[in-house]
Amino acid sequence: MLIDGHGRAVNYLRISVTERCNFRCQYCMPEKPFSWVPKENLLSFEELFLFVKVAIDGGVTKIRITGGEPLLREDLDSFIKMINDYKSGLDLALTTNAYLLPQAAQKLKDAGLKRLNISLDSLKEDVSAKIAGKNVLKEVLAGIDKALEVGLKVKINMVPLKGVNDDEILDVLDYCKGKDIKVRFIEYMENAHADQALKGMHGKEILEKVKERYTIKALGREGASPSFNYVLDDGTEFGLIDPHKHDFCENCNRIRLTAEGNLIPCLYFDEALSIAEAVKKGDVEGAAQVLAEVLKDKPKENRWSEDEFEDRELSKRAFYETGG
């Protein structure tokens, strides 16, 4: 089992396979970055897989592929198959904006993918275009339907933003209810790369919106998940991810790997150590050592907390680099 410096068991690895994206979400990558990581600096799937094996052998049981937009990386299904063939029974998931999912869903399912988290911030064409920087709604909705059709489990992620899509919280909840899928509302996490004019909604405000139509009951956190779950009277469940609270840091079970091999202990902070040199040499021991160091120094908690809200520095971590 992998244990960090604060005694927390770490069994969840998130891998960002590319920082590139076909969307320009205002809260993540409103502009094309000044420069992309050069292609030659990206780790190959074989190099990433060497680290994945170290992590699985150490006790990782849950792996999520993310990005940027992971479906932009060619032959992603072959990487998923490598992982699935190495150890069956893993919780193998992907986070995607779903734009390319109509073509990709069946291949991903055949490769062994179990679950998908899909970002859906609006059901209105103009609003989703405003958030993503281009017309995306038709493809995204087709992607969700295709994923369900091929038998992948789907969850929806929505980031409610004041004056942008805050009037659609109930519509997205009802859309998910109609398809029997769970939505998780994510509090906007301020960061230096986002459009600085954005104002996120606080978890309490999101719940107030839901209560305008439904009676809700709190269920609690699902294991180490950052999502706090609620249930409507008819049994429909939804989640709230509220990073401005510290209580999920107590049980944080995750580490993040970027496409160029930086191993990141916490989404908020800049700290990371690189596994690139080790995996390029095929040095399993070296990769395991980097992992041990990152676990030892994993921060106790993020700094999105409300108390420090006024005077803290904005997180410089780009979500498109870490994968969220």
- Residues lying near ligand SF4 in the complex (CB under 6 A): 21, 23-25, 28-29, 67-69, 97, 119, 319-320
Q: Which is nearer to ligand SAM, 69 or 260 (CB)?
A: 69
**Closest residue to ligand SAM using C-beta atoms:** 324
Please report which residue ranges of 20-99 form alpha helices under DSSP H.
45-58, 76-86
Q: Are 184 and 175 in contact (CB under 8 A)?
A: no
Give the span between the Cα atoms of 278 and 290, in whole angstroms. 9
Report what 188 binds from ligand SAM, ligand SF4, none; CB cut-off 5-8 Å by kind.
Answer: ligand SAM
Q: Is residue 66 a contact residue for ligand SAM (CB under 6 A)?
A: yes
Q: Which secondary structure element, helix H or strand E, spans residue 45, and what is its range?
A: helix 45-58
* Cβ contact 58:227 at 8 Å: no
Question: Within positions 157 to 216, which residues make up the interface with ligand SAM, using CB under 6 A?
Answer: 157, 159, 186, 188-189, 191, 194
DSSP conformation class of 181: -
> By the 8 A CB rule, do 114 and 152 touch?
yes
Is-contact 259 40, C-beta < 8 A? no
83-142 positions binding ligand SAM, by CB under 6 A = 95-97, 119
Pairing, β 62-66 against β 12-16 = parallel
Q: How many CA atoms lie within 13 A of 169 on its CB side?
A: 29
Q: How far is the CB of 239 from ligand SF4 (least distance, A)?
A: 18
Round to whole Å and give the CA distance between 187 and 210: 15
Pair 254, 14: CB distance under 8 Å = yes
Of 11 and 18, CB closest to ligand SF4: 18
67 versus 203: smaller Cβ distance to ligand SF4: 67
Our CB check for ligand SF4 shows the closer of 119 and 236 to be 119
Taking CB under 6 A as the criterion, the residue among 27, 45, 230, 304 binding ligand SAM is: 27
| Residues 138-157, interacting with ligand SAM (CB under 6 A) | 157
H or E, element range at 254 = strand 254-257
Q: Which residues pair with 92 in a beta bridge?
A: 63
Q: How far is the CB of 285 from ligand SAM (least distance, A)?
A: 31
Nearer to ligand SAM among residue 14 and residue 298 (C-beta) = 14
Backbone angles phi, psi at 84, to 5 degrees: -65, -35
276 binds, among ligand SF4, ligand SAM, none (CB under 5 to 8 A by kind): none
Query: Is residue 28 within the footprint of ligand SAM (CB under 6 A)?
Result: yes
From the CB of 318, what's the least distance to ligand SAM, in Å?
9
| Binding interface with ligand SAM (CB under 6 A) | 21, 27-28, 66-67, 69, 95-97, 119, 157, 159, 186, 188-189, 191, 194, 319-320, 323-324
